[in-house]
Amino acid sequence: MVTKKIFGFVLVIMFLLLGSSSAKTYKVGGSNYGWTVRDDSWAEHKKFHVGDSLVFEYDKNVNDVTQVSNASQYESCDNSSPKAVYNTGHDVVTFKEPGHHYFITSNHIQCVGGLKLDVLVVHGPSSPSPPPPSRKIHGPSRQIPSPPPPSKNHGPSHQSPPPPPPPSKILPSAERMHAVGDTSGWSVYNSYYYEKWSEDRQFRVGDTLFFEYNKHINDVREVSNELDFESCNPTSTVAVYKTGHDIVRLTRPGVHYFVSLKSGLCHAGIKLRVTVQPSTEDVTLPDAPKRLSPIDYLNRWWLRIFRPHH
């Protein structure tokens, strides 16, 4: 009996050791650089599981590790509402849940220069398989509502469709809104990107542009001429926007120029040129025939019958 208990205890210890040995530890940036330079290829061919850990090594006097909640904060280097902040210079972060994990540095210059890390974490090999992806997507802050239960008045094969998503709280639905840069927003360091974005759309008077960006490191300035647009010169500035969620209404036809001049981002490629066409309401329609009143109709009928014939 004692032998069986000892054998069972050994099996339990072996199981725990094998389970814990499957977790891996990765030094971010490799042994040569650490958390100091941009290296897009470091995480490209690695597969991260729940239970794995990242080690961030850096100079804590000039840097830190800030974990943010979503892709928008990651792309715009927005550290205003971090999920977690590490600043020991030798930080160990263990993944406790699957999904995208976003890390940036609160040093804006380094973050804008590319010191950031997006890691996709999946379930461990011994973890139970996730439920079918009909209720939840394993990514930060994205939820899909569950379908409502079947109606009692319908057969078993009929279900009421889920309610439509609520309208945007920012974009007015009565106008045609163009989100500048689409999901990338006003933060791409490539003027060709915005040139292509503009060419693929048609703008008319009455439309609006929506600029979304990190207000701490960026802004939107409208300038009035091509020369200032090309040279990133603020001399002909028409308007300045800096809320981070700016809505600009296009009120006249012609070419409109928008640049970012904060921190020299215009020279980095954040600039936009849009050509605005007249509104469709400006087209003149032919006058509709005037409708006769009952009295006028009766008078015409009376004259047609009783007028003298020549």
**Exposed/middle/buried for 192, CB within 10 Å: 0-12, 13-18, 19+?**
exposed
10 Å Cβ neighbour count for 255?
Answer: 12
CATH of the domain at 187: 2.60.40.420
- CA 9 from chain centre, in angstroms, equals 52
Can you count the helices (H) and strands (E) in the chain? Answer: 8, 16
Range among 104-108, 111-115, 138-142, 205-209 rated most confident: 205-209
Q: What pLDDT score does 204 carry?
A: 94
Asked if residue 305 is part of any domain, the answer here is no
Whether 58 is covered by a domain: the verdict is yes
Residues 182 and 267 in one domain: yes
Q: Are 204 and 112 part of one and the same domain?
A: no
Structural domain count of the chain: 2
**Alpha-carbon span 51 to 97, nearest angstrom:** 8
Report the chain's terminal Cα–Cα distance, integer Å.
Answer: 134
Q: Which domain holds residue 237?
A: 177-277
Q: Do 104 and 40 belong to one domain?
A: yes
Same domain? 184 vs 117:
no
Tokens of 74: 């990651």
pLDDT in tens, 137-190: 444 444 444 455 554 544 444 455 555 444 433 444 345 899 999 989 999 999
Long-range contacts of 158-164 (CB under 8 A, 24+ apart): none
User: Does residue 134 sit within a domain?
Assistant: no
For residue 137, tell me if it sits in a domain: no
Domain co-membership, 271 together with 190: yes
CA distance 40 to 117: 8
- In-domain check, residue 82: yes
Tokens representing 147 are 């379908």
Which of 88, 122, 156 terminates a domain? The answer is: 122
E strands present in the chain: 25-27, 48-49, 53-57, 65-68, 84-86, 90-94, 99-104, 116-122, 177-179, 203-204, 208-212, 220-223, 237-241, 245-249, 254-259, 271-277
Q: Within 10 Å of residue 203's Cβ, how many Cβ atoms?
A: 18
In a domain, 158, yes or no: no
> Nearest-CA neighbor of 64 among 10, 27, 24, 105?
105
Q: How confident is the model at residue 115 (pLDDT cuts 50, 70, 90)?
A: confident
For residue 149, tell me if it sits in a domain.
Answer: no
Answer whether residue 218 is part of any domain.
yes
- Per-residue pLDDT at 266 exceeds 70: yes
In this structure, are 118 and 210 located in the same domain? no
Task: Answer with the one of 79, 105, 122 that is the final residue of a domain.
Answer: 122
